[in-house]
Amino acid sequence: MAKQKKETNLGKDPVGRLLFRLAVPAITAQIVNVLYNMVDRMYIGHIPKIGAAALTGVGVTFPIIMVISAFAALMAMGGAPKASIMMGKGDRETAEKILGNCTSGTIAAGLILTVLLLIFGRDLLMLFGASENTIGYADTYMKIYACGTLFVQIALGLNTFITTQGFAGTSMLSVVIGAVTNIILDPIFIFGFDMGVSGAALATIISQALSAVWVLLFLTGKKTTLKIRKKYLKIDPRLYGSCLALGMSPFIMQATEGAITVCFNSSLLRYGGDIAVGAMTILSSVMQFSMLPLQGLTQGAQPIVSFNYGAGNMERVKKAFFLLLRACVIYSTLLWAVAVFVPQAFIMIFTSDADLSAYTEWAMRIYMAMSLIFGIQVACQQTFIALGNAKTSLFLAVLRKIILLIPLIFVLPLFFTDKAMAVFLAEPVADTLAVATTATMFFVQFRKLLKRMEKGTKSEEKAEA
């Protein structure tokens, strides 16, 4: 493991310092990634004469882009923890087999998605809300973006294998390279070359291509601990299947974002009109952006938990989890305090309209009423993934969004006079039930796991004696 010491030693460095060193680049990468998407839309919105229609058209592509990202998460978040566990066990060969299998799977997914999007892209866009006025812009953007799907899969899907080895700074650079390139190329292509929406899409796929090249160069280079090797690219159904099973939880969490947005918007349009939908747009933006530090914290903790679980070091696993839990709860509590007591701090970023601001203010207090406990949900659910527990992590992903949230959006208005308020209430009710279930399942199973690890350690000590 000498190469790994150049940046971190997952088995020996102090857990607190290690989490900070891994989480800060991960949080930075998450924020940079969102910011450059916001800049992308800002430029499109300022295209002379067609800006508003073009922005709406590109916005319709969001659910499809989320599904593309979800497939990258399916490979990355399933394979990376498995590889890290194998590294902890000292089984580098199996860890590299996992990397090789996930590389082949990522490339295959990218090629298949490209073909499907080029054939069915327009029909999907109409399904997600494109109109005759906006379908031209949406279709133009999607066709060009689809041609870069392979780059997206590689850049997002394999970058996690860099983080899981402890090279968080290198992982962050792969995102920063794409973001900076996109921010530079957007105005050049959109306005300088007068390419409009086509220019925005072209700038995006070039940026993703550079990120993908950066990731591949690192994972085939000299600094990496795990290397992509030709002999491990052949898919092993059993090995690859276990990675896909573990990756299903983050896949569902991302892939269902579009469906949840459609459910919220359709109900709110019915009960509250355009102003309620506008409020929901602000609330979902605040929630997504404010969740980035939590995602970064869990990404930083995953290599530590997975590696030391594989190494059988239960004390470091326990220490890493409880440190992650405290950090997530403190952050989510601060987020809740701002949302409930000074919601205008968030709202003023998105609108200056007095009516929309007033409506969003009370809606935010309801929608984010239980966000203070969401840190528990994130810490526990992501640790299940880091420990390689595919079944439980999959159940929890399905529980919160599909079993609880989507039905509650439609059921709660049946029991309240203020129907729009009831729709917003679906979020905190789902959060409360999901957190209670997740925390209970986690601590029961975590205690059993620690006991098994302790028995295994004692058995090894007796054998050595």
Residue 266 lies in a domain: no
The mean pLDDT of 196-224, rounded to a whole number, is 92
Same domain, 361 and 428: yes
Q: What pLDDT is recorded for position 290?
A: 79
Residue scoring higher pLDDT (45 or 100): 100
Residue 242 lies in a domain: yes
Tell whether 215 is covered by a domain.
yes
pLDDT tens digits, one per residue of 251-299: 887 788 777 877 888 888 889 888 888 888 788 878 877 788 888 888 8
Token pair 């459609």 is found at 262
Instruction: Determine, yes or no, domain membership for 121.
Output: yes
Kindly state whether residues 232 and 320 are assigned to the same domain.
no
Same domain (yes/no): 250, 305 = no
Tell whether 189 and 310 lie within a shared domain: no
The rounded mean pLDDT for the chain is 86
Separation between Cα atoms, residue 336 and residue 300, nearest integer Å: 23
> Which has the minimum average pLDDT: 28-42, 341-355, 395-409?
28-42
Is 370 inside a domain boundary?
A: yes
Q: Is pLDDT above 50 for 145? A: yes
Which residue range is the domain that position 68 belongs to? 11-255
Q: How far is CA 326 from the centre of its chain?
A: 21
**Gap between the Cα atoms of 316 and 319, Å rounded:** 5
For residue 406, is it within any domain?
yes
Domains contained in the chain, number: 2
Same domain? For 237 and 318 the reply is no
Give the mean pLDDT of 76-97: 90
Pairwise pLDDT comparison (325 vs 129), residue with the higher score: 325
Do residues 163 and 303 both lie within one domain?
no
Percentage of the chain with pLDDT > 70? 94
- Do 156 and 86 fall within a single domain? yes
Last residue in a domain, options 202, 232, 255: 255
Q: Does position 6 have pLDDT exceeding 60, yes or no?
A: no
Indicate the pLDDT class of residue 218, thresholds 50, 70 and 90: very high
Give the H or E element holding residue 173: helix 168-187
Same domain membership, residue 210 and residue 309 = no
Specify if 40 maps to a domain. yes
Residue 199: predicted pLDDT: 92
Give the HSE-up count for residue 326: Cα atoms under 13 Å, Cβ half-sphere: 7
pTM of the model: 0.80
Q: Where does residue 321 rank: exposed (0-12), middle (13-18), buried (19+ CB within 10 A)?
A: buried
Which tokens is 432 given?
């409360």
Question: What is the residue type of 99?
Answer: L
pLDDT tens for 16-62 read 888 888 888 778 777 776 666 667 777 887 788 877 777 777 777 87
**Same domain assignment for residues 229 and 329:** no
For the segment 406-461, what is each residue's pLDDT rounded down to a tens digit? 999 999 999 999 999 999 999 999 999 999 999 999 988 888 887 776 666 555 44
Quick check: is 357 in a domain? yes
Q: Domain check: are 122 and 243 in the same one?
A: yes
Shared domain check, 435 and 306 = yes
Claim to verify: residue 309 and residue 246 sit in the same structural domain? no
Amino acid 2: pLDDT: 39
CA 252 to chain centre: 11
Task: Output the CA–CA distances (angstroms, integers) from residue 349 to 32, 251, 296, 334, 394, in the order listed.
Answer: 18, 30, 23, 18, 35
